[in-house]
Chains A and B, each alone.
Chain A
Amino acid sequence: MSASVAPITPASLRAERWRLRIRGWRDFWRRFLRRTDGVVGLAVLLFFTLMAIAPWLFVGQLETASTATGPRLGAPSSSYLLGTDEIGRSIVNLTIYGARTSMVIGLLATFITIAVGALLGIVSGYAGGRTDTVLMRITDFFLILPNVVLAIILAPILLEVMGADAEFLGIRATLLVIVVVIGLTSWASTARIIRSQTLSVKERMFVDRARVIGSSGTRIMRHHILPNVVNLIVANTVLVFAGAIFTETTLAFIGLGDPFQPSWGQILNAAESAGAPGLGAWWYIVPPATCVVAVILAFTLVGNALDDILNPKLAGRR
């Protein structure tokens, strides 16, 4: 409430919009911080992100067979806090570098999933009619398909199609295939969620019909629908990231990973091949397994928290 009435200029409108946005952010943060589960999740995620971005802060270079100095399958000791693997590499070292591979793959896969899913969801929801029906049929089709089985089957085929030694942005074909395969099999539920949100936004929009007269479809989608769907996309991204790590770990465990740049799933695969369960080498299994669970759990907690804050449900809420 201002004492004097200032003239309304484009500049002042923009300034006002920024002030509102900042206030929105502060509000959001205050509410987020009140949720312990979300905060804990975020802290865990930050920790692992740091691990993934700068593993050298924690340990030296990634150990290889030739630089390994530890005993074979050595139990945790003072010099090797989490023990060693079958050629003497420190599990601490492997697990920390595993974070990088797992998170990068997860990130890229999430990007594809969200890009495809959100795009299809918005287009389908906005266009309505025939387009919507067709797109939704396709989406339902992919929703029902057994994702992991499809991923397992797609992987070798994609590898052949891409050429086994292809490289893209410095990422090798084998890992690239996993990224694409996860993306291709997970976009369906995102599409569905975004579509229903788009539909409800569309309904609300017709109340403000005046604003949208004369705008083209793409403009509307970009400037009116997207901002209102963004919240949901953000919350969904976090949950999709959790799923991507889950699937990547599974695929790596089955044997589709890269042993020279092991992700956590790949480490578990190596542990299984080295006979760790039977030899009682629990230290080979527990660290990567715990990290996987921790990260997935963290993403889920943060995602749920975001979901609750950004998209309050009106019915049945106490």
Chain B
Amino acid sequence: MSLRYLGRRAVQALITIVFVLLLNFLLFRLAPGSPERVLLRNPSLTPQAVQEIRARWGLDKPLVPDQLVAYVESMAKGDLGYSFKYRGEPVVDVIASRFWPTIILLGSAELVAMVFGLALGAYAGWRRGGRVDRIGNGLGLVLYSMPYFVIGMPLVIIFATTLGWFPTGGMFSLGVAFASPIDQLLNFLWHLTLPLATVSLALIGGYSILMRSSIIETRGEDFVTTARAKGLPEDFILRKHAFPNALLPTVTLIAINLGYVVGGAFTAEIVFNWPGLGTLTVDALNARDYPVLQGIFLFISVAVIVANFAADILYGYLDPRVKTE
């Protein structure tokens, strides 16, 4: 893989990020609503105090160029502004504290889903028309049609409320002193299980379907016929030849769908009171905390763009047909 190829892809990713920044800026400054009004139900706020607050947040200056310049400057410094809801807390801090729980949940769910979903889809597609296919595909379709929280709510009712096997929410049992880090880890995993199951199931649905159609296409390819002619067993052909080939386009699709997946994971977080970016987004939405919403959008977009970039590179590395010079 040449440096030029890498460079070109990197530049493309950067340009996209710049567009995201611009979009971000436009979105929020376009909103004529005044965030200081969030304070309004306070018995003693005078119009003069409101003006002061607006001035402090720079909301009384004209959009272009003052606010745009200020925006670019602060972006360059890594300053994402201050939360409206948590008066004075930098947005970066507010997001940083909620960032890891979402990454852990999403990351582990993606891994689990890739392992099980892709395998399931591959088997189903390979034995097309068979029982495995019908059940697997059917299951995949049903899961794919369920919004993430629709998967989560029954899980809570059955496994947490009724059976009591798992906690109903949160990431840790709070106010509890753990005897050792292992205990803490286990407590964390205990809380992680249901949210992880929810997001994984949702992803498995989508990935199995994706993989299945990919495998079906691959089945008809020449090299498969050749391998069969050589007398190799079906399972072997699937695992060594068909699967890796069918995997490639799927990888790209997985990366493209990341943005979509993030949104779904957010709703799963709500059901489980998981202290990640999803619950933060809903909180910020209800409080009209635009700086935080802006920050989350920026962060997620950049993350998705970077993930796509990585997937692109990976794809170029794996697929010899792609020109990487």
Contacts and interface: CB of A to CB of B under 8 A. Distances in A.
Interface of A: 140-141, 143-157, 160-161, 242, 246, 249-250, 253-256, 265, 268, 272, 277-278, 280, 282, 285-286, 289, 292-293, 296-297, 300-301, 313, 315-318
Nearest to A296: B145
A265 to B, nearest CB: 8
Given A148-B262, A157-B30, A313-B217, A293 B301 contact: no
Interface of B: 16, 19-20, 27-28, 30-33, 128, 141-142, 144-150, 153-154, 156-157, 161-162, 168, 216-221, 256, 258-260, 262-264, 266-267, 270-271, 281-282, 285-286, 288, 293-294, 296-297, 300-301, 304-305, 308
Given A146-B301, A315-B220, A268 B27 contact: no
A10 B217 CA distance: 44
A152 B281 contact: yes
Contacts of A152: 263, 281, 285, 293
Contacts of B150: 249, 268, 289, 292-293
19 contacts: A141-B20, A146-B260, A146-B263, A146-B300, A148-B262, A148-B266, A149-B262, A156-B285, A161-B31, A249-B147, A250-B148, A277-B153, A280-B161, A286-B154, A289-B146, A293-B142, A313-B217, A316-B221, A318-B219
Nearest to B157: A277
A133 to B, nearest CB: 12
Contacts of B263: 146-149, 151-152, 250
Nearest 10 CB-CB pairings of A with B:
A148-B263, A316-B220, A146-B259, A296-B145, A297-B145, A316-B217, A160-B33, A157-B31, A160-B31, A289-B150
A149 B266 contact: yes
Contact of A246 (B31, B147, B154): B147
A153 B144 CA distance: 25
B149 A253 contact: yes
Contact of B32 (A161, A268, A280, A315): A161
Contacts of B27: 153-154, 157
Contacts of B221: 315-316
A293 B139 CA distance: 12
Contact of B153 (A160, A254, A285): A285
A163 to B, nearest CB: 10
Given A253-B149, A289-B153, A146 B304 contact: yes
A316 B266 contact: no
A137 to B, nearest CB: 8
Given A148-B263, A277-B157, 11 more contacts: A140-B16, A147-B260, A148-B266, A152-B285, A153-B27, A253-B267, A255-B282, A265-B147, A277-B168, A315-B217, A318-B219
A257 B271 CA distance: 17
B31 A141 contact: no
Given A149-B262, A277-B153, A280-B162, A316 B216 contact: yes
A316 B219 contact: yes
Given A145-B20, A157-B27, A254-B285, A301 B141 contact: yes
Contacts of A277: 153, 156-157, 161, 168
Nearest to B128: A318
A277 B160 CA distance: 10
Contact of A253 (B147, B220, B258): B147
Contacts of A289: 146, 150, 153-154
Contact of A148 (B142, B145, B162, B260): B260
A152 B264 CA distance: 12
A85 to B, nearest CB: 15
Nearest to B296: A149
Contacts of B149: 250, 253, 268
A301 B149 CA distance: 22
Contacts of B270: 253-254, 272
A154 B153 CA distance: 27
A150 B304 CA distance: 13
B147 A297 contact: no
Contacts of A285: 153-154, 157
A154 B218 CA distance: 40
A149 B288 contact: no
A255 B285 contact: yes
A293 to B, nearest CB: 5
Contacts of A286: 154
Nearest to A279: B161
B164 to A, nearest CB: 12
Contacts of B148: 250
A278 B31 CA distance: 38
A308 to B, nearest CB: 11
A248 to B, nearest CB: 10
Contacts of B32: 160-161
A246 B145 CA distance: 8
A148 B161 contact: no
B42 to A, nearest CB: 21
Which of B16, B28, B145, B161 counts the most A-chain CB atoms under 10 A from its CB? Answer: B145
A39 to B, nearest CB: 15
A272 B149 CA distance: 11
A300 B145 contact: yes
Nearest to B158: A282
Which of B147, B168, B282, B305 counts the most A-chain CB atoms under 10 A from its CB? Answer: B147
A46 B75 CA distance: 51
A248 B84 CA distance: 27
B260 to A, nearest CB: 6
